[in-house]
Amino acid sequence: MRNVSAFRWLMLTSLLLTLGACASTQTQSEYPAVEAGNRLDLEYPIESRTKMMSLTIRRDANLPTVIISGEGARARTAIEWSTQWFTADGREVSGTSNRFRRATINPDVAFTLQATAPVPVAETVHVRIRQSDNM
């Protein structure tokens, strides 16, 4: 009888230890996936209306291009999004590139937002996505 109880305790302890070890070794990934130095702000309720969001910058063309990818969730949502480009020394690139653009995201449909910097020296980007009341 005592042996059975001890065995149960042993099993439970080893199970807990195994689970604990798994939890500590699991890598914690950042969400949304944004390249270092850049920023992606999802204003309420956009965070709950999107999933698998990521931000990358392509520099293969003559001007840097930011690509935001994701998938819609829950409900059809009209959005407005803007980009703010910054040079390597942290100065904001002024001009029309920081205007709000309009788009619509649909549940379970993948979408891509793309914007090109107006100057080649643009290094990092701050992207803001908010719900639109005008669509």
Task: Using CB under 8 A, list all residues that contact another protein.
Answer: 61-63, 65, 82, 94-102, 115-116, 118-120, 133-134
Quote the CA–CA distance of 84 and 39 in Å, as a whole number.
Answer: 10
Q: Which is nearer to another protein, 45 or 120 (CB)?
A: 120
Reduced to 3 states, what is the DSSP secondary structure of residue 70?
Answer: strand
Taking the complex as a whole, the smallest distance from the CB of residue 116 to another protein amounts, in Å, to: 4
Pairing of strands 122-131, 77-87: antiparallel
Nearer CB in complex with another protein: 111/118: 118
Residue with smaller CB distance to another protein, 64 or 70 = 64
Question: Across the strands, what pairs with 94?
Answer: none
DSSP one-letter code for 88: T
Instruction: In angstroms, give the least distance from the CB of 110 to another protein.
Output: 22
